[in-house]
Structure 1
Amino acid sequence: MRAYLYVAVILLVIFGGISGYLYNKFSAFASMDFSPPPATVAVATARADTWPSLLEAVGTIRAVRGANLAAETSGEVTDISVVSGQEVAAGQLLLTLNDSLEQASRGRAEANLVLAQQLYERDESLIKQKSIPQSQFDRSKADLDIAIASIAEIEAQLDNKRIVAPFAGRVGIIEVKTGDYISSGTSITTLQDLSALEIDFSVPARHFPDLRPGLVISVRTASSERAFSATLKAVDSAVDTGTRNLALKAALNESEGILPGMFAQLEIDLGQPREVITLPETAVTYSLQGDTVYVVSDQGEGLQVMPRVVASGEVRDGRIAIRSGVELGERIVSAGQNKLYRGAPVVLEENPAAFTQ
């Protein structure tokens, strides 16, 4: 019996020791802080900026003087006096059609004119002497007028056989060859004066009160990374009933490196600067819940962040306008958001550039 008592005492001591050891261990674990360490973030202050009011649009560049040249009459091409892409002067001959028939007609008409002139001069002297009746003199004068008109008519037909440049510019691709027979209206080539270009575009009609000739426009094309300057020249007097858009025309202030027909992206400065609250573009996180920023606040025991849904606006030069959700002067996380959650403790990075390295 006494042996059983010894065994029970020994077991009690063993289990008591184990229980005490485990109690001390769990007490130590319970007193430990398992919360994650503060996240290092970069912070920016919401500031007020003055931004111009811009209206975006797209348009097509055209030459102020540009034409598709076509033949007014039919005939065989006998001579092409220019090559594709050539610069030409106003009135320069571009193409000639077969005019042999018209040349023959002009020779006959010139002979008739000489005869009519002689008869008129003879009858003019005779009428002064009253040697012929007035009717004969009137007939001679009418014949002379008819002969002069015939010459003018044939000259006009000859002019139609010659295609000349209506203004100075650059010839496009010539679409016909010597020996081709072309009909009236057949396209021959294009002629563009590249020294003066304009842009045709349209905007929704609701913007009409803000539009007026003289507004400055920034123009970008796919052919260049630079922005070109233009000036709003005209606003249409009626709205398109099909699209409810208002047509506008702008004059490019420079045309080097631009061709008619190019697509252009436009930013129209409406001349109405406005105050906006802005943040670095990197401060806004985009998600299904909406555009979110992390606002930094001091809770006494350290800095914490809280997510906040905001209404964001346009982006310019790396900064984004905040229409609502952020107050002026608030501190917003601008880098390091991927480690954050509601109420997360943070410390501020002294060198924000470290996030880009």
Structure 2
Amino acid sequence: MRAYLIVAVILVVLFGAIAGYLFNKFQTLANTDFTPPPILVSATRAQQETWPSTLEAVGTIRAARGVNLAAETSGEIIAIPVNSGDEVAKGQLLLTLNDRVEQASLRRQQANLVLARQLYERDASLIRQKSIPQSQYDQSRANLDAAIATLAETEARLDQKRIVAPFAGTLGIIAVKTGDYIESGTAITTLQDLSELEVDFSVPARYFPELRRGLDISVKTAATRQSFPATLEAVDAAVDQNTRNLALRARIHRSEGLLPGMFAQLTIDLDRPRELVTLPETAVTYSLQGNTVYVLEESADGLRVNPRVVKTGPVRDSRIAVVSGLAAGEQVVSVGQNKLYRGAAVVLEDNPPEFTQ
């Protein structure tokens, strides 16, 4: 019996010790603060800025003076006195076709003209002396006029055997070579005046009331990071019935680094500035629920954040416009949003003075 009492006492002491240990453990856990520490973030203020109203478009650059040169008549090429890519002057000879027949005809017609003029001058002298009938004089004058016309016709055929530059510019790749026989209409090369370039583009017709000649345009291409200034020159008088777009043309003021045919991105300044609330692009979080910013709010225990859905607008120089949902001067998180949640406590990196109260 005494042995049972000893065992019972030992069990009571053992279980009591375990219970005391567990009680102390749970008491310690109960008194522990599990509140997460403040999250380190960067912040900024929403700013009120004046932005221009703009319209985006795409277009194609073209030369104000640019042509594809082709042969007017058929024949064998006997001379190409220029090379691909040459700068040529207005009227410079670019290509000559075989013109031996026309040259021979020209010499014959020139001789006929000399004879016709001599006969006419002789008969003009005789008619004043009344030595010849009027009909003979009339025939001489008609023969002279016919000789002049025939010579002009031969010279015109001879001109068709030569291709000259209609204006000063830069030649493209010459697609033919000496000795080739070409037909009428065969493409020879292209000639572009690169000193004056234009860009053709189109916009939806609903923007017509906002468009007028003289608007400033910024032109960019994939070939260069530069922005080229341009001016709206013309607005088409009718809307394309298939696309419902309105065609426009702008003149580019500086053409260095641009070529006709390049694809261009255009930003049209509609000359209607507007006041907008803006933020750095990094301050906006994009999600299925909408574009969200984390707004800083003062609380009894420091700064906390709450998400707010906003409506955003255009982007300019790494800043984004907030059309609605945020007022100028409000403080928002600009870096570190991925760690935040509603009501999260935050501490500002370096605690900028603009966020202290």
TM range (shorter): over 0.9
> What are the equivalent positions in structure 2 for 1:85-96 lying under 5 Å apart?
85-96=85-96
**How many aligned positions are there?**
352
* Structure-1 separation of matches of 2:281 and 2:67: 46
User: 1:306, 1:351 → 2: CA distance?
Assistant: 19
- Give the CA deviation at 1:104: 1.2
Q: Gaps (5+ residues) in structure 2?
A: 353-357
Q: Match of 2:282?
A: 282
RMSD: 1.7
For residues 49-68 of structure 1, what are the structure 2 equivalents within 5 Å? Answer: 49-68=49-68
4-13 vs 26-35, greater mean Cα deviation: 4-13
Alpha-carbon displacement from aligned partner over 1:16-47 (angstroms, at most 9, x marks no partner): 33222211211211121223211111111111
Aligned residue type for 1:12: V
> 3-state DSSP class of the match of 1:227?
strand
Counterpart CA distance in 2 for 1:98 and 1:303 is 90
Match of residue 235 from structure 2: 235
Distance 1:328 1:117 in 2: 92
Secondary structure of 1:226's counterpart equals strand
- 1:172 paired with 2:172, answer yes
Separation in structure 2 between the aligned mates of residue 16 and residue 201 of structure 1, nearest angstrom: 90
What residue in structure 1 maps to residue 329 of structure 2?
Answer: 329
Structure 1 stretch 22-31 or stretch 75-84: which is displaced more? Answer: 22-31
- 2: CA distance between counterparts of 1:351 and 1:234? 54
- Residues 19-98 of structure 1: pairs in structure 2 closer than 5 A: 19-98=19-98
For 2:144 and 2:303, the matched residues in 1 are separated by 107
**Aligned partners of 2:130 and 2:321: how far apart in 1?**
98
Structure 1 CA distance for aligned equivalents of residues 107 and 75 of structure 2: 20
TM-score, normalised to structure 1, is: 0.94
1:106 aligned partner, one-letter code:
L
Q: CA deviation at 1:9?
A: 4.2
The alpha-carbon deviation at position 136 of structure 1 amounts to 2.5
Q: 2:169 is aligned with what amino acid?
A: G
Give the corresponding residue for 2:244.
Answer: 244
In structure 2, what is the equivalent of residue 201 of structure 1? Answer: 201
Aligned ranges 1:247-286 → 2 under 5 Å: 247-286=247-286
TM-score by length of 2: 0.94
Cα offsets for 1:235-293 (capped at 9, x unmatched): 11111111111111111111112111111111111111111111111111112222121
Matches within 5 A, 1:180-219: 180-219=180-219
Distance apart, 1:70 and its partner CA: 0.9
Shift of 1:2: 5.6
Deviations 1:49-107 (A, max 9, x none): 11111111111111111111111111111111111111111111111111111111112
Whole-angstrom distance in 2 between the partners of 1:344 and 1:229: 48
Tell me the SS of whatever aligns to 2:166. coil
Partner Cα distance (1:49, 1:342) in 2: 29
Q: Which residue of 2 aligns with 1:110?
A: 110
Query: Paired residue for 1:355?
Result: none
Give, in whole Å, the separation in 1 of the partners of 2:321 and 2:310: 10
Q: Deviations over 1:304-328 (max 9, x none)?
A: 2122222112221221111122222
Distance 2:120 2:246 in 1: 63
Question: What amino acid does structure 1 have at the position aligned with 2:53?
Answer: S
Name 2:355's counterpart in structure 1.
none
Corresponding letter in the other structure for 1:140: S
Equivalent position amino acid for 1:161 in 2: K
- Name the stretch that deviates more: 195-204 or 108-117: 108-117
Equivalent residue letter for 1:232: L
Which stretch of structure 1 is more off in the superposition, 338-347 or 111-120? 111-120
Q: In the alignment, residue 242 of structure 1 is paired with which amino acid? A: N
C-alpha distance in 2, partners of 1:170/1:124?
53
1:93-172 → structure 2 map (5 Å cutoff): 93-172=93-172
Residue 3 of structure 1: CA displacement? 5.2
The residue type equivalent to 2:225 in the other structure is E
For 1:42 and 1:71, the matched residues in 2 are separated by: 69
Mapped partners of 1:174, 1:13: distance in 2: 109
Distance, in Å, in 2 between the alignment partners of 1:229 and 1:175 is: 34
Render the CA deviation track for 1:106-148: whole Å, top value 9, x for unaligned.
1221222222222222322332233333222222211111111
Structure 2 counterpart of 1:18, one-letter code = I
Change (3 A) 1:195 1:20: same
Structure-2 residue corresponding to 1:293? 293
Q: What's the % identity of the aligned pairs?
A: 70
Name the CA distance, whole Å, in 1 between partners of 2:122 and 2:14.
159
Displacement of 1:13 in angstroms is: 3.6
Moved more, 221-230 or 146-155: 221-230
What amino acid is the match of 1:223? Answer: A
- Alignment partner, residue 348 of structure 1: 348
